[in-house]
């Protein structure tokens, strides 16, 4: 129930809704406060200004993402299977949180103030787990180790972000998770150690 939620959580939930409806430029603290059921002064007790509130939203979602990801990875020991699960969960989580997804990929990522803020460093923790899995796979011999693990991470996250952005600009007309199989097949075939090389079809 709303009465049991912390005020800062209510404020951030209200801000998400207002930002989605009007965009960060047109949204006002007064509107956010009214939607959250608090006084405007209460908002400033938790956030220094509208931009600070805007930047804080991803951090709370990152915490939720990481907590749920840990649960999904429990019981998996093969790094390749962990990467399969990571790809699926990334698409699933962003599909189930479309408002946050749109703010992150369409607004925050192109905001210079966000990139230069402390919040940006915190948000990057969401990618820490995939890098950990890649290094684990290289150490165990499951993932090829002739490529920098940071490059492998980019190779995984790049297509995920591109597919998710395309999903947003096409008005979310299909389940984002429908791309899971094709994406995991392509990525894993490229990074798994001792995989059979892809050969071009014979020329007719």
Residues 104 and 7 in one domain: no
CB 137 within 8 A of CB 80: yes
Structure-derived torsion over alpha carbons of residues 79, 80, 82, 84, reported in degrees to the nearest 10: 170
Start-to-end C-alpha separation, the chain: 67
Residue 24 resides in a domain:
yes
Residue 147 belongs to domain spanning? 58-191
Q: Could you give the CA distance from residue 78 to residue 101 in angstroms, rounded to a whole number?
A: 29
Q: Could you give the CA distance from residue 59 to residue 52 in angstroms, rounded to a whole number?
A: 11
Radius of gyration of the chain from Cα atoms? 20
Q: Percent of the chain, pLDDT > 90?
A: 53
3-state secondary structure of 50: helix
Residue 136 resides in a domain:
yes
Q: Could you give the CA distance from residue 113 to residue 60 in angstroms, rounded to a whole number?
A: 19
Give residue-wise pLDDT tens across range 48-104. 888 888 888 777 788 888 889 999 999 999 999 999 999 999 999 999 988 888 888
Residues 23 and 102 in one domain: no
Q: Could you give the CA distance from residue 130 to residue 41 in angstroms, rounded to a whole number?
A: 40
Q: Could you give the CA distance from residue 19 to residue 143 in angstroms, rounded to a whole number?
A: 41
Residues 30 and 73 in one domain: no
Give residue-wise pLDDT tens across range 146-190. 999 999 999 999 999 999 999 999 988 899 999 999 999 999 999
Task: Give the count of domains, the chain.
Answer: 2
Residues 16 and 96 in one domain: no
Residues 22 and 90 in one domain: no
Average pLDDT value for residue range 26-42:
92
């Amino acid at each position: 129930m709303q009465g049991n939620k912390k005020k800062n959580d209510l404020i951030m939930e209200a801000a998400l809704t207002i930002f989605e409806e009007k965009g960060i430029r047109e949204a006002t603290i007064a509107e956010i406060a009214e939607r959250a059921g608090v006084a405007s002064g209460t908002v400033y007790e938790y956030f220094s200004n509208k931009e600070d509130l805007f930047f804080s939203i991803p951090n709370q979602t990152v915490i939720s993402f990481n907590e749920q990801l840990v649960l999904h990875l429990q019981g998996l020991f093969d790094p390749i299977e962990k990467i399969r699960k990571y790809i699926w969960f990334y698409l699933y989580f962003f599909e189930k949180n479309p408002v946050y997804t749109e703010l992150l990929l369409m607004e925050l990522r192109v905001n210079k103030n966000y990139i230069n803020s402390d919040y940006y460093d915190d948000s990057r923790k969401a990618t820490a787990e995939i890098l950990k899995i890649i290094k684990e796979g290289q150490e165990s011999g499951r993932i090829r180790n002739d490529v920098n693990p940071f490059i492998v991470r980019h190779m995984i996250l790049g297509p995920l972000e591109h597919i998710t952005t395309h999903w947003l600009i096409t008005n979310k007309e299909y389940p984002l998770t429908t791309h899971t199989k094709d994406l995991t097949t392509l990525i894993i075939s490229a990074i798994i150690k001792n995989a059979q090389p892809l050969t071009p079809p014979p020329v007719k």
